C-alpha cells in the first residue's frame, strides 16, 4: 500500500488525502461499472480516502456508480465530495444555485451516493441569475441540517469568492473552505489572483486535471494520431475538452519533460501530479482512471518533493505554452 499524506482542506479542520479520486468522465460513461469498481478498490487500497463527483457527471449515473462502489466502507473513514449547478433535468429550475435546485439536488445526490451527508458540497460554477445571499443561505441551512459538512466552490473567480466571503461574514453563514479549479503545469490561471486570495482567507484548492486530461503523460505525440481508446478519441466527452491541448507546439514541449521525470525517478503522470502538490495552497489533486494500474501509478506522487532547480527547468520548457490568464476562469453567462 502506498503511503498517503493528508492535508487540511483550507483552514478547516477536515483532513483529506492529498491525492483524491474523481469520476468526471469515467464512471457511468467511459468505462463499465466493473472497471469503475476496480479503480475505486485500487484507490482505497492505496490510501485514498477522498472521492469527488458531481450530480451532472454522466447524467447523474456517476454518483450512482460511486455510491455502489463505496457501499460497505466505513463512512467515517471517507470524505465524499459532490457538486451542484449544471442541468440535471429539462425544467427551468433544474439548474443553477437557487434554493429550489440546491435542495432538490442534494437530496438526489445523497440518494444516489447512498449516504446521509456529504463532507463537501460545491457550487459547480458561479450563478449570475441567483442572488448570492440566497445561495449561501441555502448552503448554510444544509450545514445546520447535517446534510453537508463543508461548503466549497468550483471554477469561481477571485472576485466571486471574495463577494461570497464578505456576505458569509456579514450574515453569519458558514464560509467557503475550498475551490475546485483546473490546475496543471500547462494551466496556471489561478496563480495570479485566486491563490493569493485563498491563502489570505484560508481556502484550499482541490485541483482537477493535474495531468491535463492525459496530455502530460506524454502518450500523445506531435504529428501522430491519438492512441486508440484514449481520451482524445472519446467523442462522448473527452475529445472536445482536450482538443486545445493537442497542438504540436504543446506536445513537443511535453515530450521534453521525459528526461526530467526520469531524473526524478517518476513517470510523466507522477511528475505532473507531484508538480501541483508543490503548491502549498493545494489541498488535494484529483486523479481519474479507467484502469486500476493508473490509480496505482498516480498515487506514487504522494509525498514527493521536487527541488527548485527541477521546477525551474520545467518552467523553462513549458513557459511559451502555459496559460496564465485569470480571465479564462469564466462561469456561463446569464441566460437571455
CB 201 within 8 A of CB 174: no
Q: How far is CA 2 from CA 45, 57, 298, in A?
A: 8, 28, 10
Q: Which three cell numbers stand for residue 41?
A: 478498490
Query: Average pLDDT of 118-136?
Result: 97
Distance CA 114, CA 80 (A): 11
Q: How confident is the model at residue 234 (pLDDT cuts 50, 70, 90)?
A: low
Query: Which residue bears the cell 445523497?
Result: 110
**pLDDT, tens digit, 9 for 90 and up, residues 33-47:** 888 999 999 999 999
- 273 lies in which domain range? 6-217+267-305
Q: How confident is the model at residue 229 (pLDDT cuts 50, 70, 90)?
A: low
Question: Which pLDDT does position 30 carry in this prediction?
Answer: 59
Residue 126, pLDDT above cutoff 90: yes
Q: How confident is the model at residue 58 (pLDDT cuts 50, 70, 90)?
A: confident
Question: Which pLDDT does position 33 carry in this prediction?
Answer: 85
Q: What is the pairing mode between strands 15-17 and 204-207?
A: unpaired
Q: Which of 57, 85, 121, 183 is catalytic?
A: 57
Q: How far is CA 14 from CA 6, 51, 77, 268, 284, in A?
A: 10, 14, 12, 30, 12
The one-character DSSP state at 184 is S
In a domain, 228, yes or no: no
Q: Which of 50-54, 178-182, 229-233 has the lowest mean pLDDT?
A: 229-233
Q: Which three cell numbers stand for residue 198?
A: 485563498
In a domain, 13, yes or no: yes
CATH of the domain at 160: 3.20.20.100
In a domain, 168, yes or no: yes
CA angle 152, 155, 160 (to 5 degrees): 75
Q: Which of 51-55, 192-196, 236-240 has the lowest mean pLDDT?
A: 236-240
Strands (E), 38-116: 50-52, 79-84
Residue 237, pLDDT above cutoff 60: no
Distance CA 202, CA 62 (A): 30
Distance CA 235, CA 245 (A): 16
Residue 330, pLDDT above cutoff 60: yes
Distance CA 80, CA 51 (A): 5
Q: Which three cell numbers stand for residue 257?
A: 519533460
Question: Which pLDDT does position 238 carry in this prediction?
Answer: 53
CB 78 within 8 A of CB 49: yes
**What is 160-191 written as a DSSP string?**
HHHHHHHHHHHHTPPPEEEEE-B-SSSB-TTT
Chain centroid to CA 29: 17
Reported pTM: 0.93
Q: Which of 78-92, 109-123, 168-182, 218-232 has the lowest mean pLDDT?
A: 218-232
**pLDDT, tens digit, 9 for 90 and up, residues 13-33:** 999 999 999 998 665 555 688
**pLDDT, tens digit, 9 for 90 and up, residues 242-298:** 667 778 899 999 999 999 999 999 999 999 999 999 999 999 999 998 899 999 999
In a domain, 271, yes or no: yes
Question: Which pLDDT does position 241 carry in this prediction?
Answer: 60
Question: Which pLDDT does position 244 carry in this prediction?
Answer: 72
In a domain, 26, yes or no: yes
Higher pLDDT among residues 180 and 247, named by residue: 180
In a domain, 311, yes or no: no
In a domain, 174, yes or no: yes
121 catalytic? Reply is no
Q: Which of 144-148, 234-238, 330-334 has the lowest mean pLDDT?
A: 234-238
Domain count along the chain? 1
Q: Which three cell numbers stand for residue 126?
A: 458561479
In a domain, 244, yes or no: no
Amino acid at each position: 500500500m502506498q503511503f498517503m499524506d493528508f492535508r487540511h482542506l483550507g483552514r478547516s479542520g477536515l483532513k483529506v488525502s492529498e491525492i483524491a479520486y474523481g469520476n468526471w468522465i469515467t464512471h457511468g460513461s467511459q468505462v463499465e461499472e466493473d472497471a469503475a469498481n476496480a479503480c475505486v478498490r485500487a484507490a482505497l487500497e492505496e490510501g485514498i480516502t477522498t472521492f469527488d463527483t458531481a450530480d451532472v457527471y454522466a447524467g447523474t449515473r456517476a454518483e450512482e456508480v460511486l455510491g455502489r462502489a463505496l457501499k460497505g466502507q466505513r463512512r467515517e473513514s471517507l470524505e465524499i465530495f459532490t457538486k451542484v449547478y449544471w442541468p440535471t433535468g429539462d425544467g427551468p429550475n433544474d439548474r443553477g444555485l437557487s434554493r429550489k435546485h440546491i435542495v432538490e439536488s442534494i437530496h438526489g445526490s445523497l440518494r444516489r451516493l447512498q449516504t446521509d451527508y456529504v463532507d463537501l458540497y460545491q457550487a459547480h460554477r458561479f450563478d449570475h441569475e441567483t442572488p448570492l445571499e440566497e445561495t449561501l443561505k441555502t448552503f448554510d441551512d444544509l450545514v445546520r441540517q447535517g446534510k453537508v459538512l463543508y461548503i466549497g466552490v468550483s471554477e469561481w473567480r477571485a472576485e466571486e469568492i471574495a463577494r461570497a466571503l464578505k456576505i458569509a461574514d456579514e450574515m453569519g453563514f458558514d464560509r467557503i473552505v475550498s475551490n475546485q479549479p483546473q490546475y496543471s503545469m500547462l494551466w496556471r490561471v489561478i496563480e495570479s489572483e485566486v491563490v493569493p486570495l485563498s491563502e489570505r482567507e484560508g481556502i484550499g484548492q482541490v485541483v482537477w486535471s493535474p495531468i491535463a486530461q492525459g496530455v502530460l503523460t506524454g502518450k500523445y505525440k506531435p504529428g501522430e494520431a491519438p492512441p486508440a481508446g484514449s481520451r482524445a478519441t472519446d467523442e462522448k466527452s473527452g475529445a472536445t475538452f482536450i482538443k486545445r491541448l493537442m497542438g504540436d507546439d504543446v506536445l513537443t514541449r511535453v515530450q521534453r519533460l521525459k528526461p526530467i521525470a526520469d531524473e526524478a525517478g517518476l513517470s510523466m503522470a507522477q511528475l505532473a501530479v507531484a508538480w501541483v502538490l508543490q503548491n502549498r495552497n493545494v489541498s488535494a489533486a484529483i486523479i481519474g482512471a479507467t484502469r486500476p494500474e493508473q490509480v496505482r501509478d498516480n498515487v506514487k506522487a504522494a509525498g514527493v518533493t521536487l527541488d527548485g532547480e527541477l521546477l525551474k527547468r520545467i518552467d523553462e520548457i513549458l513557459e511559451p505554452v502555459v496559460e496564465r490568464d485569470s480571465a479564462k476562469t469564466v462561469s456561463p453567462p446569464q441566460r437571455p
